[in-house]
């Protein structure tokens, strides 16, 4: 695997990319010195042209604020946005067209240069130019056929997304199948068997998508609100999340989306501390079989009787706890807090806790103090206080830890902080009660 950065875009190239280019460009007649030169230049031409095409997509994605990553593999190239940016359908059309546009520009430039040259290119030069035009312009045109997953297919899907509020994949897949029938028939008629095979494969792929995931495609626009709601659980927006779940449950047709909604509802119950309710809801999933271990099951165990086991399972996931959704991350941290030696749990907190996990930090500091790691408790509490957290319980931990450490000045300082904040919080209460009475 070749890795490098160009125009700040990270690029990976699989060796198979060169192998396929070498096979495609191998001379049709007995190879001689000239045709081998043309062949070698063809491999470079494919590499540069496909990369240039992907850079077109990448420039558009970066222009909308995304973080593009480019990969060249056997069947061409792909540019993915790894940021959490959500592009609108109109922007997505521009991104899809930018690749072919870059290719046409490069092809046009080469053509113009060749025409402007005062001398003849010679046989080898003409062959090299012909290949370069074919790769940049010919492939660019084919790539605009309305077939998924070609750029033309992406444009079709985005156009439908715009008018169907996010249900573009099904019509784009239908158009892919129809186009495949026409293109394959034409290719067979012209005895272009390789092209017939390639475009036929795209048609078969789209047909399978429609047959196996038809209901799922109808629910496409429900997936994003569910994902949003799962992220919002981290901000404690439980009511809003419940609204989303009910809306989705009413409209969902496919099992996967229904199950995702049930799972979200169970996470909401866990977040509210209702363990039994979460267990009951989780039992309603139809996609979990005996012995399956889902994130939700780990979450339930984290708050239930077996936090140590839950923490071990969270730790053996193939992604770090910090990358889980907020509710799962909190469950993992909570499990660590309840099971691990305090030192290890704190290390995990320091690396993986997010901005919504403040109460857990305080709990971690308290646990450290109880376990006899006063200096670590003090470190953690001071770090959070320095980050601007104004929690009397946290200041209280800092006070006790400092006292335990025989640091009288610090202990006094944090004791007064705790008292001040507690008084401020206390002073709020009567005020709020009075306001409530006034409302009544
Ligand atoms: Zn493209």
Is 291 a domain residue?
A: no
Is 245 a domain residue?
A: no
Indicate if 65 and 140 belong to the same structural domain: yes
Indicate if 4 and 44 belong to the same structural domain: yes
Domain count, the chain: 3
Give the domain extent around 361: 340-428
CA of 100 to the centre of ligand 1 (A): 6
Q: What is the pLDDT of residues 235-277, one digit of tens each?
A: 767 778 888 888 887 777 777 788 888 888 888 888 878 888 8
Is 109 a domain residue?
A: yes
Write down which residue in 119, 144, 169 finishes a domain: 144
CA of 14 to the centre of ligand 1 (A): 17
Indicate if 183 and 153 belong to the same structural domain: yes
Q: What is the pLDDT of residues 162-191, one digit of tens each?
A: 887 767 888 999 999 999 999 999 999 989
CA of 54 to the centre of ligand 1 (A): 6
* Averaged pLDDT, 104-108: 93
Indicate if 137 and 156 belong to the same structural domain: no
Is 361 a domain residue?
A: yes
CA of 59 to the centre of ligand 1 (A): 12
Indicate if 127 and 164 belong to the same structural domain: no
Is 423 a domain residue?
A: yes
CA of 60 to the centre of ligand 1 (A): 12
CA of 46 to the centre of ligand 1 (A): 14
Is 9 a domain residue?
A: yes
Q: What is the pLDDT of residues 198-242, one digit of tens each?
A: 899 999 989 988 887 776 776 777 777 788 788 777 676 777 888
Mean of pLDDT over the chain: 83
Is 232 a domain residue?
A: no
What does the DSSP 8-state code read for residue 306? -
Angle at CA of residue 113, ends 107 and 116, nearest 5°? 140
Reported confidence tier of residue 350, pLDDT bands at 50, 70, 90: low
CA of 102 to the centre of ligand 1 (A): 10
Q: Point out the least confidently predicted range of 237-241, 349-353, 359-363.
A: 349-353
CA of 95 to the centre of ligand 1 (A): 9
Q: Quickly list DSSP for 31-94.
A: --HHHHHHHHHHHHHHHHHHHHHHHHHHHHHHHTT--EEEEEETTEEEEEE-S-----HHHHHH
Reported confidence tier of residue 8, pLDDT bands at 50, 70, 90: confident
Question: Are the beta carbons of 317 and 331 closer than 8 angstroms?
Answer: no
Query: What is the predicted pLDDT for the residue at 343?
Result: 64
Q: Tokens in use for 162?
A: 């715009």
CA of 154 to the centre of ligand 1 (A): 9
Is 392 a domain residue?
A: yes
Indicate if 116 and 32 belong to the same structural domain: yes
Write down which residue in 120, 144, 168 finishes a domain: 144
Surrounding ion ligand 1 within 5 Å at CB are: 99, 151
CA of 187 to the centre of ligand 1 (A): 22
CA of 101 to the centre of ligand 1 (A): 10
Q: Point out the least confidently predicted range of 127-136, 168-177, 208-217, 417-426.
A: 208-217
Write down which residue in 108, 124, 144 finishes a domain: 144
Indicate if 130 and 113 belong to the same structural domain: yes
Indicate if 204 and 176 belong to the same structural domain: yes
Percent of the chain topping pLDDT 70 = 90
The residues facing 13 across adjacent strands are 2, 72
Indicate if 73 and 154 belong to the same structural domain: no
Indicate if 87 and 163 belong to the same structural domain: no
How many other β-carbons are positioned within 10 Å of the β-carbon of residue 104?
Answer: 17
Query: What is the predicted pLDDT for the residue at 433?
Result: 42
Indicate if 88 and 211 belong to the same structural domain: no
CA of 7 to the centre of ligand 1 (A): 18
How many other β-carbons are positioned within 10 Å of the β-carbon of residue 420?
Answer: 13
Indicate if 95 and 19 belong to the same structural domain: yes
């Amino acid at each position: 695997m070749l890795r490098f950065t160009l125009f700040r875009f990270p690029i990976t190239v699989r060796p198979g990319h060169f192998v396929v280019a070498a096979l495609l460009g191998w001379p049709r007649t007995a190879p001689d010195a000239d045709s081998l030169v043309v062949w070698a230049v063809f491999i470079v031409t494919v590499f540069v042209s496909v990369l240039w095409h992907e850079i077109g997509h990448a420039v558009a994605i970066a222009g909308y604020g995304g973080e593009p990553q480019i990969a060249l593999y056997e069947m061409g190239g792909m540019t993915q946005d790894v940021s959490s940016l959500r592009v609108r359908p109109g922007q997505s059309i521009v991104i899809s067209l930018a690749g072919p546009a870059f290719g046409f520009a490069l092809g046009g430039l080469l053509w113009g240069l060749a025409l402007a040259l005062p001398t003849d290119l010679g046989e080898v030069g003409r062959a090299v130019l012909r290949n370069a035009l074919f790769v940049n312009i010919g492939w660019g045109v084919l790539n605009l056929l309305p077939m998924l997953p070609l750029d033309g297919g992406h444009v079709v899907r985005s156009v439908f997304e715009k008018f169907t509020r996010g249900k573009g994949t099904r019509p784009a897949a239908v158009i892919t199948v129809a186009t495949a029938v026409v293109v394959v028939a034409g290719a067979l008629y012209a005895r272009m068997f390789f092209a017939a095979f390639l475009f036929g494969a795209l048609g078969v792929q789209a047909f399978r998508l429609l047959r196996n995931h038809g209901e799922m495609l109808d629910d496409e626009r429900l997936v994003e609100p569910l994902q949003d709601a799962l992220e919002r659980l981290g901000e404690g927006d439980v009511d809003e999340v419940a609204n989303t779940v009910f809306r989705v449950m009413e409209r969902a047709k496919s099992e996967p989306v229904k199950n995702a909604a049930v799972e979200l509802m169970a996470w909401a119950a866990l977040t509210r501390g209702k363990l039994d309710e979460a267990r009951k809801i989780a039992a309603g999933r139809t996609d979990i079989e005996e012995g399956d271990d889902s994130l939700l099951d780990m979450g339930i165990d984290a708050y239930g009787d077996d936090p140590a086991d839950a923490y071990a399972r969270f730790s053996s996931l193939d992604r770090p706890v910090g990358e889980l959704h907020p509710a799962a991350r909190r469950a993992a941290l909570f499990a660590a807090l309840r099971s691990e030696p305090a030192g290890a749990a704190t290390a995990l907190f320091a690396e993986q806790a997010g901005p919504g996990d403040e109460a857990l930090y305080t709990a971690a500091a308290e646990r450290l103090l109880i376990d006899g790691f006063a200096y670590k408790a003090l470190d953690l509490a001071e770090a959070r206080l320095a980050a601007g957290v104004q929690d009397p319980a946290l200041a209280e931990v800092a006070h006790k830890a400092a006292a335990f450490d025989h640091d009288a000045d610090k202990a006094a300082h944090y004791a007064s902080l705790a008292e001040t904040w507690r008084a401020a919080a206390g002073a709020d209460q009567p005020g709020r009660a009075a306001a409530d009475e006034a409302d009544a």
